[in-house]
Amino acid sequence: MLEFEEKSQPGERAHTSLTLALEQRIKSRMKVTLDDGRKAGLFFEKGVIFQDGDLIISTDRTVLVEIKAACEPLSAVYCDTPLLLARASYHLGNRHVPLQIGEGVLRYQHDHVLDEMLRCLGLEVQTELAPFQPEAGAYIGAGHVHHPG
For residue 99, give the amino acid letter: L
Summarised one tens digit per residue, pLDDT across range 65-118 is 999 999 999 999 999 999 999 999 999 999 999 999 999 999 999 999 999 999
* pLDDT for 32: 98
Q: Which pLDDT does position 138 carry in this prediction?
A: 52
Half-sphere exposure in the Cβ direction for 139 (13 Å, CA):
8
pLDDT at position 60 over 90: yes
Q: Which 3 state secondary structure label does DSSP give 2?
A: strand
Same domain (yes/no): 6, 63:
yes
Is the pLDDT at 141 greater than 80? The verdict is no
pLDDT band of 12, cuts 50, 70, 90: confident
Domain count, the chain: 2
Q: Are residues 126 and 96 in the same domain?
A: yes
Q: Give the model confidence (pLDDT) of 131-140 as tens digits.
A: 999 998 654 4
Quickly state the pLDDT bin for 149 (edges 50, 70, 90). very low
pLDDT higher than threshold 80 for residue 144: no
Do 28 and 76 reside in the same domain of the chain?
A: no
Residue 22 lies in a domain: yes
pLDDT the model gives residue 142: 39
Range of the domain at 55: 2-69
Mean of per-residue pLDDT scores for the chain:
91
Query: Which of 12, 55, 19 lies closest to 35, judged by CA?
Result: 19
pTM, full prediction: 0.79
Domain holding 58: CATH number? 2.60.260.20
- Give, rounded to a whole angstrom, the gap between the first and last alpha carbons of the chain: 30
Q: Does the residue 140 lie in any domain?
A: no
Amino acid in position 51: Q
